[in-house]
């Protein structure tokens, strides 16, 4: 049996690290917390692509949840 960490765990750790760094950077700039909280959910607007159909929805949703778009 090989000892390895599943890819999903790496992705979850990457997301958690990105969230922590973004939160620390935002706190260091002394910006408003309500704006940070509101902008936290902006990528979920890309879920509206599912109103067209599943294929377009999946493409738009995945584009909105990458680090490339921001």
| 61/32 same-domain check | no
The pLDDT value given to residue 70: 66
Domain boundaries, position 58:
41-70
Predicted model pTM: 0.68
Q: Give the residue carrying structure tokens 């902006």.
A: 42
| 59/35 same-domain check | no
pLDDT in tens, the chain (70 residues): 566 778 889 889 998 999 999 999 999 998 899 998 888 888 889 899 999 999 999 999 888 888 876 6
The pLDDT value given to residue 55: 94
Q: Structurally, how many domains does the chain consist of?
A: 2
* CB count in 10 Å sphere of residue 50: 14
The pLDDT value given to residue 34: 92
The pLDDT value given to residue 13: 93
């Amino acid at each position: 049996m090989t000892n390895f960490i599943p890819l999903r765990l790496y992705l979850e750790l990457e997301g958690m690290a990105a969230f922590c760094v973004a939160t620390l950077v935002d706190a260091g700039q002394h910006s408003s917390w309500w704006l940070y909280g509101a902008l936290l959910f902006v990528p979920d607007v890309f879920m509206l692509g599912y109103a067209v159909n599943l294929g377009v929805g999946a493409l738009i949703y995945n584009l909105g949840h990458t680090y490339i778009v921001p």
